[in-house]
Amino acid sequence: MAEVRFSVTAAATERLDRFLADQLQLSRTQAARIVAQGAVTVGGAAARASRLLSRGDEVTVSLPDHAPPRALQPHPIDLDIVYEDEHIAVIDKPSGLVVHPAPGHWDDTLVNALVARGTSLSGGVEGRPGIVHRLDRDTSGLMVVARTDLAHRRLSSAIAARRVRRSYAALAWGHLEGSPLAIDAPVARHPRDRKRMSVQTEGRAARTDATVVARFEVAELLRLDLHSGRTHQIRVHLEHIGHPIVGDPVYAGGGARRISGAGRPLADQLELATPRQALHAALLAFRHPVTGERLAFESEWPADLRSALAVAGGKEIVAQSEVLRYLLFFNRDG
C-alpha cells in the first residue's frame, strides 16, 4: 500500500469526507467510500467520514498498489506524448479534455485515452490511476503521469517538496502593479458555491509567482510559477488581485468590464477572440523519479489561442512560429 499524508491547515472545522474530496479531487461519495473501507486515519486512529477535522490534524490515506477496482473503459483519443519510458509519460494535453473520470465524464478522459493506447498506469485512488497532478479541462499543456507505483510516490513527494517546476502562460486583463509579483493567498472551497474555489483566511496556503512577459494595451502575457497546487489556484489568484484570465468563464472578476475608455472596444474584441480560458501549462521540469535525470519540457502557445494573442498584441507577434520563445517566456529572468 502507498500512503498519502495531508496536514489540516484551515482554521475552521471541516468534515473528513469533504476534506478528502477536496484534496483528492473526488466526489464526497467516493471519499466516504474510501473512509468506510478503513483506508483513512486521523492522527493514526481510524475515523468516520463525519469526523470534524481541526487545524493540525494529520490525515493519512492508504492507497492500493493495484489498479483501481472500477473498470476503466478505453476511449481512443489522439494524444501528444512528448516523453515516455517504462516509469512515466509526459503529455501535452489539449484543451477540452478532462484528466480523469468524474461525473459527466466517466469514459472520455485522458485516463481512458491512455488505457485505449495500452499505457500501463500506477495504482491510485479510484478512477485516477497514474494521475500525479491535474490540469483543468479547458487548460492546455504539459503534465506528467506515473506508470509505476514507485514513480507515482516519488513524483508526488517531489511536487509536495516543490521540486517540480510548473510554469504557465496566461493572458490576463489589465496591468500588474509590479513584476515579478508573489501572490500569497490561502485557497479554500467557496463557502456558498461548492464548484468554485476562493481566497479565504482559513484556506490552505497557496502561492503563485506572476511575471510580466509582454505588456499590451488592455492585457498582459504572464508567466505563472506554482509553489503549491491548489484546485484552480492560478485562476483564483489572478481574479483575487483584479487581473483575471482572459476568457475564464468562472473566475472572470469583471474581466473586460474593468477596461474603460479608448481601450474598451479592443477589450470587447479580445473577449470575442478568446474561445476558452487563456491558460497554458508551458513548462514542466523535474528529476526523473527513478533515474534522477534532469528533465525539462516546453510547450508553445496553443493554436486555438493565437487569435486572442493577435488581438491583444498584434499580428506581428503570432507571425512568429514560436511565440513564447520569441517573447523570451522560457528565459526565467526574462
Q: Which amino acid is at 297?
A: F
Which range of 56-70, 99-113, 218-232, 245-259 scores highest in mean pLDDT? It is: 218-232
pTM exceeds 0.85, yes or no: no
> 179-227, pLDDT tens digit by residue?
999 999 999 888 877 678 899 888 888 999 999 999 999 999 999 999 9
Whether residue 171 contacts residue 324, with contact meaning beta carbons closer than 8 Å, is answered with: no
Report which of 251, 211, 209 is spatially closest to residue 232, judged by C-alpha positions: 251
User: What cell does 37 get?
Assistant: 473501507
Scanning the chain, the segments in alpha helix (DSSP H) are: 16-24, 28-36, 110-116, 149-160, 233-240, 264-273, 306-313, 315-318, 323-326
CATH 3.30.2350.10 fits domain 80-160: yes
**pLDDT tens, 233-256?**
999 999 999 999 999 999 987 666
Using CA atoms, how far apart are residues 137 and 151, in angstroms rounded to an integer?
24
Residue with cell 521540469: 285
Q: What is the pLDDT of residue 302?
A: 97
- Please list the active-site residues: 136
Q: Which three cell numbers stand for residue 270?
A: 479580445
> What is the per-residue pLDDT across 116-153, written as a single tens digit (0 to 9) for each?
888 888 875 555 688 888 899 999 999 999 999 899 98
C-alpha span between 74 and 114 (Å, rounded): 8
Q: Report the C-alpha gap between 246 and 278 in whole angstroms.
A: 6
51 near 18, Cβ under 8 Å? no
Residue 28 has pLDDT above 50, yes or no: yes
Q: Is the pLDDT of residue 29 over 80?
A: no
Distances (CA, A) of 205 to 7, 11, 14, 184, 214: 11, 12, 16, 8, 28
Instruction: Return the closest-CA partner of residue 84 out of 297, 255, 322.
Output: 297
* All three cell numbers of 222: 504572464
CA-CA-CA-CA dihedral for 26, 28, 32, 35, to nearest 10: 50
For residue 208, give the nearest of 244, 187, 243, 234 by alpha carbon.
234
Q: In which band, very low, low, confident or very high, does the pLDDT at 301 lie, cut at 50, 70 and 90?
A: very high
Q: Which fold has domain 2-63?
A: 3.10.290
One-letter identity of residue 140: S
Summary mean pLDDT of the chain: 87
168 vs 14, more confident: 168
Same fold flag, 2-63 and 165-286+298-326: no
User: If one looks up domain 165-286+298-326 in CATH, what number appears?
Assistant: 3.30.2350.10
Mean pLDDT, to the nearest integer, of 266-283? 94
Cα separation values, 323 from 148, 151, 248, 312, Å: 35, 33, 21, 13
- Percent pLDDT > 90 in the chain is 47
Domain ranges of the chain: 2-63, 80-160, 165-286+298-326
Q: Is residue 333's pLDDT more than 60?
A: no
| pLDDT value of position 66 | 45
At residue 127, the pLDDT reads 56
